[in-house]
Amino acid sequence: MSRWLFGGIRGGAGSVLLPLVVSLLHSASVTAQESTATTITISGDRPACAACVIELPVVVSIGGDADSIGLIGRDGERLSVGKGAIWIAPAALGHALAAIDWSGRHLHTTGRSGQGPLEHRFIETLTVGPDDTGHVFGDGRHAWVGPDGTFARSSRLAGSVLRALALPEGSVVVNGWVSARGAAGFPLHVLDRSGRVVTSFGAPAGPLDYGDFSGVRGLGPGPDKDSFWAARFDRYELTLWTVDGTLRKRVVRDVGWLRPWVRYKSAFRERPQPQLMGVYQDADGLLWTLSLVPDPDFRPITPDVWNPNMVRRKEDPWYDTIIEVLDADAGRLLAAARFDGMMHGLLPTGHVVSYAASPLGAQILELRRTRLVSGGR
């Protein structure tokens, strides 16, 4: 699965990507089968396992002083983890796709600006399947890329794809605004092996409007090969779906620090809203979540002679990160930790993305492994 590595939807340090369609009305052609869904509410901030500690050791660092091609920028890279390599679409090179091995060594970069095979004007998101086939979305197109970076084929997919997740059974789930029969108004879409939209579902009540972010979802694989989790961006709600649109389970966290909100606020002049960024289910069935919450020392910034474009710098207090481990079957919070600063994504492989700087100031992307130690269920 790919992730926008930012507390929102964006392609760079401060830009918000606007979908082509401002407001989409609901379609009645596909409806979620919710009658048998179980809702689990987990309240409180006291973990059930007081001895459990969440650790985030760095497994690979990418970029730094040796990055001569601009692979890693300030942030905004699209990233997906495969078995043989880590795939990155650099924010500064919107048309390129780079492969990095697990030692941090650059393997190859493919793609160029254009509309031909393996050419992109901009890569919106990407995901790597279990067979290490890459699925690249952008410019209204879905491209299949082999493990060695060679172009395989492509199909049209009109709209704007925010996140994508390749499932073991061969389909790809995308979150976004997709223009296809029966897809209008729904945030979740399942593509078959040919790239055709076969089901669309998961719409909240009322019109789906990009401005309120009610349709944005983080995606993670579920317990079965045809299931997946969706994390709602604007509230602490996790839903487990199957590819036919059946809602199997809903997990809701009742906490004061992430209340549902409607309109996205500017993170420059107003205190930003908290955001649920992603969900990951580990081998023990535990659910990991990553949320961004406003830094206690957040302060708005205004244009001045030194910062006319209102660029929020890394040293500006902005977001902190909260990672939680939920035992949904038992209806309890197992462990939690708050980290100073903003982590930039929770991947479906259980990796967290963060940024650092070299002594010379070059940007480094750190891929961290989630680990729960000194305790148990």
Residue that has been written with the tokens 């760095």 in this structure = 58
pLDDT value for 4: 34
Sheet holding 351-357, edge to edge: 58-63, 363-369, 351-357
Non-local (6+) Cβ contacts of 223 within 8 A are 281, 285
Q: Is the pLDDT of residue 346 over 90?
A: yes
Q: How many CB atoms lie within 10 A of CB 250?
A: 17
Q: Is the pLDDT of residue 310 over 90?
A: no
**CA–CA dist 319, 294 (Å, integer):** 4
Q: Is the pLDDT of residue 330 over 90?
A: yes
- DSSP H helices, 210-293, are none
Q: Is the pLDDT of residue 307 over 80?
A: no
Q: pLDDT by residue (tens digit) across 179-188?
A: 888 888 899 9
* Structure tokens belonging to residue 266: 């500017």
Average pLDDT value over all residues in the chain: 81
* Structure tokens belonging to residue 29: 């052609």
**CA–CA dist 102, 81 (Å, integer):** 10
Non-local (6+) Cβ contacts of 218 within 8 A are 3, 163, 230, 231, 233, 276, 277, 278, 279, 346
pLDDT band at 283 (very low <50, low <70, confident <90, very high): very high
pLDDT value for 340: 92
Strand partners, 306: none
**CA–CA dist 303, 324 (Å, integer):** 36
Q: pLDDT by residue (tens digit) across 81-100?
A: 998 899 998 876 667 888 99
Nearest in space to 336 (alpha carbons), one of 295, 273, 289: 289
Helix, strand, or coil (residue 210): helix
Number of H helices, E strands in the chain: 0, 29
Domain coordinates of the chain in residue numbers?
A: 3-13+36-373
C-alpha to C-alpha distances, 369 to 78, 128, 372, nearest whole angstrom: 18, 18, 10
User: What CATH superfamily is the domain 3-13+36-373?
Assistant: TolB, C-terminal domain (2.120.10.30)
